[in-house]
Amino acid sequence: MVGAGPGGLMAALTAARAGLEVTCYEARADLRVSGCWLLGWQTQQLLADSGVGFRGRRCRRLRLCDQDLRPLYCLAYPEAEQASVVARQELLEAMRRACLEQGVRLETGVRLRHPPRADVVVGADGCDSIVRRWAGLACLTRRIGDFYRGQLSAGAGLDGPVEVWTRDGRRFGVDPAADGLGLYCTAPNTEPQDWDEYVDSWPCALARRLLGSVDRQAVQRCRCWDVWCHRWAKPPYFLVADAAHGQAPNLGQGANLAIGDGFVLADLLGRHGQLETVGREYQRRRKPLARRFHLLALALAWFSRQGSRPRDCLLRGLDRLDSVKPWVLAQVHFASPGEEGS
């Protein structure tokens, strides 16, 4: 495994549980990360079944608001299918512990320059995947902006994630986790020289208050790429998560997709000896789902940038169509690993 994010760790854990010998390489020596992930109930169950324990905070609904915090659109989860918000750091630490307990060899601070000697090489190494280059797999890539990710220890009394769309086309989000808040927001094209001035530029009072309270040194700037590979497998090479289908983080489904990719691929590797068969089945089960989310994320990214009163009025009108909301939730909700091919 090349890459120790959620996709690589899930693949490593599943393969080790199937009796395979696994080494996982991570280029970063400093494994500290900020922010939170939104996990669907199927992903939570998959992690629990795999022996990964973490503290998540259940969320009853997702809310989209304008810059004055007036509701634009709201989606409520069914009681038995509520999502959960978990700190990225906590989940990755829990997954690493589970991997080590299963005998996975984890090497950090290792930047591979040549393919390792292995029967199978899985690229979970992000949008700029070196495994993808080793395999010679063509892909379409496009930079689609930067965003900040941070974390606060204080709570805000929220019952679920809230995202704010401002009229100047920026986004600010709050994810209430078990021990605080995860924050994310649109970053300017160049790093601001004065952080306070950047905070004051936000037209949303909630954004100004929370960004003004965050530890600036703990805020991570993340570059976002749109990546789509037509082929995810060229044995002995396989791609998962952003290495195969990096997308705009507008749906909160990145971790769900990565964990699902890693589980399905490693489960197939543990069950089948023919790598070509594994590659075909893996792509059949995962690509339709990933493509759906990929296109939805692009559409939502474009729509969020159209900062205007007509956009807000349209969303409020759609919010009144309660009969349509189950369909909307089905489109943006993560499907379990057994359902991708349907």
Neighbours of 237 (CB within 10 A): 24
Question: For 143, phi and psi rounded to 5 degrees?
Answer: -75, 135
Burial of 200 (0-12, 13-18, 19+ CB in 10 A): exposed
How far CA 221 is from CA of 116, 117, 227, 243, 293, in Å, comes to 30, 34, 19, 19, 23
Regions of the chain where pLDDT drops below 70 = 155-157, 250, 332-342
The sign of the dihedral angle between the CA atoms of 182, 294, 290, 143 is negative
The per-residue pLDDT for 326 is 86
H helices within the chain, ranges in order? 6-17, 41-49, 88-101, 130-135, 195-200, 205-213, 242-245, 254-271, 275-305, 309-319, 325-332
| The predicted structure's pLDDT at residue 335 | 52
Omega within 30 of 0 (cis) for the link into 326: no
Cα 62 to Cα 173: distance, rounded to the nearest angstrom: 11
Look at the alpha carbons of 42, 47, 50, 51 in this order and tell me if their dihedral is positive or negative: negative
pLDDT at 82: 87
Angle of CA points 169, 208, 217, to nearest 5°: 100
- Where do the domains of the chain lie, and which CATH numbers do they carry? 6-332 (3.50.50.60)
pLDDT digits (tens, 9 = 90+) for 106-141: 999 999 999 999 999 999 999 999 999 999 999 999
| Cα(11)–Cα(341) distance, integer angstroms | 19
Cross-strand pairs, 87: 36
Cβ-Cβ contacts under 8 Å for 87 (sequence gap 6 or more): 35, 36, 151, 177, 178, 179, 180, 182
State pLDDT tens for residues 171-211.
999 998 888 889 999 999 888 889 999 999 999 999 999 99
Side chain identity at 195, as an amino acid letter?
A: W
In the numeric block, which tokens belong to residue 144? 């689609």
Q: What is the pTM of this model?
A: 0.92
159 CB-side CA count, 13 A: 7
C-alpha–C-alpha distance, residues 28 and 109, integer Å: 5
What pLDDT is stored for residue 337 in this prediction? 57
In 3D space, the residue among 89, 254, 99, 111 whose CA is nearest the CA of residue 177 turns out to be: 89
Burial (CB count <10 Å: 0-12, 13-18, 19+), residue 213: middle
Measured in residues, the chain has a length of 342
